[in-house]
Amino acid sequence: MRTADTLQSTVTAAMPASLRAAVAAYQWMRDSVGESDAAVYRLRGKGAAPDLYLKHGRGSAAAGIADELARLRWLAPFLPVPAVVQFARVADPEQAWLLLTALPGTTASAVLEAHPALGPVVVDALAAFLRRLHALPVSACPFDAGHAVRLAQARQRIDAGLVDADDFDAARQGWTAQQVWTALQDCQPITPDLVVTHGDFSLENIVMHEGAVVGCLDVGRAGVADRYQDLAIVWRALGELDAALPQRFVEQYGIVDADQGKLQWHLLLDELF
């Protein structure tokens, strides 16, 4: 049996029949972009049927997929996000599958990789989309992603050995997860500025078409949190490409002087996810 067929058989083995039927006849390709705990597959080549994405996870990853399902359903009336085709979860062993439509377009990271000169265009589009996201009604959002929640999740990940210290930013190469945790305690921001956040506003999670943002992906961490949760992630990503882009981004977003303390605290926190 071919490797791809073996992979597909493994992922579909415990699926409910309705979900197995929905993915039948598709060609599967593992999508390794991003750092999700779940495995992600692009499904294509089923005649005229649209491309789909399938997420599959076990244990804590299954819980994360369920979290994303709830957030996708809440965000759908407000923002362009993938539509949910089907969701399934089983208890023994714990597994979950989430089947989604594929958004048309290209990720912001791919756009910038192919066309670096489009940096200002991409930055302005990202800022406009983030303003739109952060303008959603906090009082209507049922998901808490604030400091206390994220720190509790981070501690659980440390204790479970899920933190990849080899993937830390250059400034923290050689650190342990516990050292990052200690640094977080030493410089925690006092007053959060709460908005509805994406939670992982990276260039890989933003889809663009013809210079505009047409959707966002991987919303499993979305919820009410300090706006710098999102600002810090994209600030770092843009700075790795061009030192001038982060300042342009925050100015287009509506901030003249970014709070460096909050930026650094949220980048520390992101090391643990």
* Of 2-16, 61-75, 257-271, the least confident: 2-16
pLDDT of residue 211: 93
Q: Are residues 73 and 114 in the same domain?
A: no
Q: Are residues 194 and 266 in the same domain?
A: yes
Q: Are residues 88 and 17 in the same domain?
A: yes
Q: What is the mean pLDDT of residues 235-248?
A: 96
Q: Are residues 12 and 39 in the same domain?
A: yes
Q: Which residue has the tokens 């970014």?
A: 258
Q: What is the mean pLDDT of residues 133-144?
A: 98
pLDDT of residue 39: 92
Neighbours of 261 (CB within 10 A): 13
pLDDT confidence bin for 122, thresholds 50/70/90: very high
Res 92 pLDDT > 50: yes
Q: What is the mean pLDDT of residues 235-243?
A: 96
Distance between CA 199 and CA 217 in Å, rounded?
A: 11
Q: Are residues 257 and 131 in the same domain?
A: yes
Q: What is the mean pLDDT of residues 233-245?
A: 96
For residue 93, cis peptide bond before it (omega within 30 degrees of 0): yes
Write down which residue in 101, 119, 148 finishes a domain: 101
Q: How many domains does the chain have?
A: 2
pLDDT confidence bin for 1, thresholds 50/70/90: very low
pLDDT of residue 37: 76
Write down which residue in 48, 73, 101 finishes a domain: 101
Q: Are residues 82 and 110 in the same domain?
A: no
55 and 97 Cβ atoms separated by less than 8 Å: yes
Q: What is the mean pLDDT of residues 128-153?
A: 97
Q: Are residues 134 and 222 in the same domain?
A: yes
Q: Are residues 143 and 80 in the same domain?
A: no
Q: Are residues 88 and 140 in the same domain?
A: no
In 115-219, alpha helices (H): 119-134, 147-159, 177-186
Q: Could you tell me which residues come within 8 angstroms of residue 219 by beta carbon, excluding any fewer than 6 positions away?
A: 68, 71, 72, 75, 81, 198, 199
200 is catalytic: yes
Degrees, nearest 5: CA angle 64-70-76: 125
Q: Are residues 185 and 68 in the same domain?
A: no
Write down which residue in 101, 126, 151 finishes a domain: 101
Q: Are residues 71 and 152 in the same domain?
A: no
Percent of the chain whose predicted confidence (pLDDT) is above 70: 96
240 and 113 Cβ atoms separated by less than 8 Å: no
Write out the H or E segment, with its range, that includes residue 155: helix 147-159
pLDDT of residue 7: 64
Q: CATH code at 8?
A: 3.30.200.20
- Collapsing DSSP to helix, strand or coil, 84 comes out as strand
The token duo for 264 is 């650094």
Q: CATH code at 236?
A: 3.90.1200.10
Q: Which domain holds residue 71?
A: 3-101
Q: Are residues 73 and 203 in the same domain?
A: no
Q: Which amino acid is at 189?
A: P
What is the pTM assigned to this prediction?
0.92
Catalytic choice (37, 67, 200, 259): 200
Res 34 pLDDT > 60: no
